[in-house]
Structure 1
Amino acid sequence: MTLKNASKFVLKSGTVTDCIEISLTEFIDAKQAYVINQRCLALEEKYSLILQNYADFESQLHSIALSTLLFGVKEWAEYMNEIQLVNGKLLNLLSSTKAYLDQVPQNLNDIFGDSCSQSELFEKNTNKEFDDFYSYRIMSAVRNHVQHSDFPIQLMQHGNQWKNEERTQCSHHATAYISTRELSENKKIRSKTREELVARDEDKLDVKPLVREYLSSMARLHREVRQSVNEVAMRSEAIVRQLTSRFAEVNGERVFGLAVVAISDEGRELERVPLFSENVDRRNYLIKHNAVLTNMEKHFISGEI
C-alpha cells in the first residue's frame, strides 16, 4: 500500500474520536518534520552523553584526590581499583565520542538527504581537528589502543602542594597517566602518531589536559552541527506546533497520541506518523543545558577558597 491508495489525510488522537482533515502536502510535511525532529534530537542526545561522561571522568579524579586526603595512601589493590575506576570513566567517554563521530554524518544524511553537504562539512571539520590538535590525535590513538590492546591508564599519582609560604592552604590532586611506550609500540595505531609520540620523548602523558582539549574539539564540531540544522529544525518545529494547535483549538488542550494518518477508501489506516512536541522541547532543553565550551583546556574545577 502507498499514499496513492489514500483517499484522505487526517489529524487523529488516541483519546478523541473526532478527526480533522488535512491535505496531502500537510501530511508529507508532518512526516518529514517527525523524522527531522527525531534526528535533530538524536544529535543533541549524543553530545549530551559526551558531556556527562566527561563530567564523570573529572569527578572520578576529584573523588580519588579527596579520598587520599581523608584516608591516606592505599594498599596496592586499592591503588589498582583507582586506576580501573578512571579507566572505566575514560572508556565511557571515548565510546561516546566514537558514537558521535560515527553517527552524526548518518543523522545529517537522514535530515538533508544522502551525501549531503552538511555531512561532508562535518567530515571536513573532523579531519581539521585531527590535523590541528595533538590531543585529538592522541585520544584517537588511545581509543584504538583500547580496542586492540589494553586499558589506557597504567599509572596514578597522588600529590599535594602548599599554595603559599605561610602554609595556610594546600591543594591535593590525583593524576592519571598513559604510557607513551605502550602507545608508540602498538602497531594498530597510526604510524605518524606513533612517530610523533617518540619524537616528543615523554615517558608518560597526563591524560587530563588531553581530555579537556579533546572535549573542546567535540564542542567545536557540535557548534557547527547545531548551526547546520538550526533552520530546518525550526521549520519542522513550527509544522508540529501549528498542527497540534489546530487540533487543540477544536478538541481541547489535553490531547494524547496525536498523529497524522493516511486513510483508504475503505476507512483503513495506511500510514500513521506520530505528531508531538516533546522531542522538540527536549532538544531545546538540551541546547540550553549543554554548554558548547570550545576552550575547556583553560577551565578546571577547584575547591580553593
Structure 2
Amino acid sequence: MTTTHDVALRGGDHDFRVRVYPASEPNGALLVWLHGGAFMFGTLEMPEADQVGRRLSAAGITVVSVDYTLAPLDALEVLGPPDPDADIPSPEEIRADMEAAGPRARFPVAGLQIVAAFDWAVENAGTYGADPRRVSLGGASAGANLSAGAAMRLRDRATTTPRVLVLVYPSLHDGILEPNEETAVLLRSVPPARLFTPESRDAINRNYLPDGDDPEGYAFAGGHDLAGLPEVLIVNAELDSLRPSGEAFAAELAVASVDVRVVREHGAMHGYLNEIGHPAAEHTLSLLEGAVGAR
C-alpha cells in the first residue's frame, strides 16, 4: 500500500495542505489532483481523491492531492434529498462532517492555492523521481473546474504550465447548458437527486462567486479565450446534466487550437469515481494513467 504524507502550504492568504502519494516505481510523471464537492465539501479521504492517488501512484505516477479551502456551506440545502439508492450522504450528514473543515472562503482562494500547489509540485518533482516538465493538473467535478481556472492563471503568468490538463465530469461554465435532444432523453432516466438543475447549479456557483464577475475565466473557464492552454483530456459521464458543459468546452478548445480528447463514459452518472470498482471509474483511471504518464 502507498505510504502517503501531508505537506503544509499557504496560498490565497489561507493555510492548506497537500497529500503526496509517491510512486513506488516512478515513471517520471506527477499529477496535481483535486477532488470535487460543489466547491463546498469533499475531503482527501473520499474515493474521488484517495482512489485516484493510490491507483495512479501504483502505476508509477506520483499524485499530489490538494486539500484546498472550501467555500461556505450557504448553498448546501439546494442540493435536496439524496437518492436513497446511491451512496451519497444527506445534506445534514455532509454539514456535520464538514463543519470541522476549518476556515472557509469563496473565490479566488482555492484557485490561488492550486497554483501554489502546482508550483510546489514542480519545485519538488525531483524528490519523487518525477520530471518537472511532466507535472500535470486535473480534477473531478468542481475539482475539474478549479483545475481549468488554475491552468488559465498559469497560462497568463507565462511561466511553468501543466504537461496535461485532465478534467473528469467537469462543470466549466457558469450555469447549466441546455442538453441536445439525445442527452435530454437520456437524462429523463436519471433519479432527480442525481442531477444538477439550473437552480441548484446557480445557487452553488453564486455561493462560490457571488457577483458572477469573471472577466479572465479564472472561476469558470468556459466561454473565455482558451488559446495557449496545454493538451486536455475531458472525461464526461453520459448520464450527467453537466455533460453539455464538458462537450462545449471541448469544442471551444478545438476552436482555440488546443489539443483535446473528449471521452464519454457510457451509462455513468456524475460522481462515479467515488464508487470503488465502478466500470466507468476503472476505465477513467486507465485514461488518466495513459494521459498523464505519456512522455
The structure that is helix-richer by fraction is: 1
Q: TM-score, normalised by structure 2?
A: 0.23
Q: Work out which structure has the larger RCO, using CA pairs closer than 8 Å and 6 or more positions apart in sequence.
A: 1
Bigger radius of gyration among the two: 1
